[in-house]
């Protein structure tokens, strides 16, 4: 049977989506079950007998024909429900593509997901109608196009200097490439959140922040971070600049200056990129915090581990400043309050373990040097070239 969907005038309106759920694939599977009791009716023979005086054998009971008619009716109703579902979903997909705002498209995509994706059927491995598979493929293609365009929009709201150390963040991209939406940053992020693609949409800008801003700010101790707001106009028109500029070398025994630079960068990102939305801040933190932690450990904390046991007490200043740093990030909603992501605090709390590991490495290095420099051909000659006798002779 060939179905025609071109006549959209008979299709339900996209604004009245509540009718679509009535014909979802889940419902169509239940139509047969709902009609099953009707097909299993048992009828007393006396109720279907011929008029009084007629012979029962001369008039066969119509039970078989009744059951066949019920089965046929159930099949027709199931086919009608499936056709209505297909027509409604096709109309919703067309209107979702034609929506002027990415927020409307994202809302339609999120709603269609509940109608097209059936986890129970996917887990059971049941076969679905071919046309539903085609609609699902069309929906997946729409999702890919939407999240790629929105991610490009987010990326174009931030301009990084080629030489590094500077980023300009605009609430609206100054120019946008073909295929991107060119909407405000907060609109793009809101649409990405609606389709559960925040991580995908913020991944590129997080990578660029690490490469051009955070790596120079952490690996170089002779720098400082400055923030300048060029235009103030709310989330739609603001333009802000963050720069990592050279400065005089400052002694940073407890790491407080390093932590201050990192906090300035994170504050900038939370305010001008994440627009102080706690969920967006946490999504951004998941992308950059593991790398920030590794950089801090490599360039600061591992170098601060004492070489002598007598200096372990002095390391408590580093422990204190590190704990204050992570608590500050938790107050900014950058880190979760459950302390599961307190990687820096865990490192400084295990300073004695790191001290022992360092000492062991030093001992092994010395032993290796002795083995390398040992003269196996003349075992009485040590590495300094001075003869040595086991009998005390010079």
- Residue range 234-269, pLDDT digits in tens: 656 789 999 999 988 777 888 899 999 999 999 999
- Using the predicted structure, report yes or no on whether residue 45 has a pLDDT greater than 70: no
Cα dihedral 195, 331, 262, 252 in deg (nearest 10): -160
Which of 122, 21, 35, 114 minimizes the C-alpha distance to 77? 35
| Residue % of the chain over a pLDDT of 90 | 37
Average pLDDT of the chain is 78
Tokens (6 digits) for 79: 């086919």
Contact 172, 236 (CB under 8 A): yes
DSSP 269: I
Give the Cα separation of 239 and 243 in Å (integer). 14
Give the Cα separation of 243 and 24 in Å (integer). 53
- Using the predicted structure, report yes or no on whether residue 65 has a pLDDT greater than 50: yes
- Using the predicted structure, report yes or no on whether residue 332 has a pLDDT greater than 80: yes
- More confident call, 214 vs 111: 214
Strands (E), 187-322: 223-231, 239-246
Range 287-302 average pLDDT: 94
- Using the predicted structure, report yes or no on whether residue 272 has a pLDDT greater than 90: yes
- Report pLDDT for 233: 64
**Segment 144-167, tens digit of pLDDT:** 999 999 999 999 999 998 888 899
Least confident of 15-29, 55-69, 78-92, 123-137: 15-29
Give the Cα separation of 386 and 380 in Å (integer). 9
**Residue showing tokens 């300035």:** 264
- Using the predicted structure, report yes or no on whether residue 49 has a pLDDT greater than 70: no
**Cα angle 213, 216, 226; round to 5:** 55
Give the Cα separation of 71 and 82 in Å (integer). 17
DSSP 369: H
**Cα angle 13, 16, 20; round to 5:** 90
Domain ranges of the chain: 1-98, 150-276
Give the Cα separation of 369 and 25 in Å (integer). 73
CA-based R_g, the chain, Å: 36
Give the Cα separation of 61 and 246 in Å (integer). 99
């Amino acid at each position: 049977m060939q179905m025609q969907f071109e006549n959209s005038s008979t299709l339900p309106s996209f604004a009245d989506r509540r009718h679509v759920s009535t014909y979802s694939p889940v419902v169509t599977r239940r139509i047969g079950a709902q009609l099953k009791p009707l097909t299993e009716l048992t009828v007393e023979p006396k109720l279907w007998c011929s008029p009084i005086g007629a012979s029962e054998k001369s008039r066969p009971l119509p039970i078989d024909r009744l059951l066949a008619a019920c089965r046929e009716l159930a099949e027709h109703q199931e086919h009608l429900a499936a056709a209505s579902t297909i027509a409604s979903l096709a109309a919703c997909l067309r209107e979702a593509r034609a929506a002027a705002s990415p927020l409307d498209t994202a809302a339609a995509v999120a709603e269609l997901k509940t109608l097209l994706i059936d986890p129970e059927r996917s887990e059971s491995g049941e076969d679905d109608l071919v046309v539903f598979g085609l609609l699902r493929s069309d929906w997946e293609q729409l999702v890919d196009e939407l999240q790629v365009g929105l991610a490009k929009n987010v990326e174009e709201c931030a301009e990084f200097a080629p030489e590094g150390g500077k980023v300009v963040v605009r609430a609206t991209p100054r120019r946008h490439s073909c295929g991107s939406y060119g909407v405000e940053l907060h609109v793009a992020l809101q649409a990405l959140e609606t389709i559960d693609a925040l991580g995908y949409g913020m991944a590129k800008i997080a990578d660029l922040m690490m490469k051009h801003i955070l790596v120079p700010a952490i690996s170089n101790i002779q720098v400082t971070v400055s923030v300048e707001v060029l235009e103030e106009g709310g989330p739609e028109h603001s333009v802000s600049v963050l720069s990592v500029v050279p400065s005089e070398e400052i002694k940073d025994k407890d790491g407080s200056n390093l932590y201050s630079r990192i906090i300035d960068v994170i504050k900038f990102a939370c305010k001008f990129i994440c627009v102080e939305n706690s969920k967006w801040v946490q999504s951004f933190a998941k992308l950059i915090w593991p790398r920030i932690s590794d950089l801090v450990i490599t360039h600061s904390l591992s170098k601060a581990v004492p070489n002598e046991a007598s200096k372990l007490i002095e390391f408590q200043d580093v422990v204190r400043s590190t704990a204050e740093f992570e608590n500050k990030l938790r107050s900014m909603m950058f880190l979760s309050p459950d302390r599961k992501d307190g990687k820096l605090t865990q490192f400084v709390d295990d300073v004695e373990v790191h001290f022992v590991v360092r000492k062991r490495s030093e001992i092994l290095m010395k032993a290796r040097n002795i083995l390398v420099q040992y003269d196996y051909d003349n075992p009485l000659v040590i590495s300094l070239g001075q003869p040595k006798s086991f009998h005390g002779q010079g």
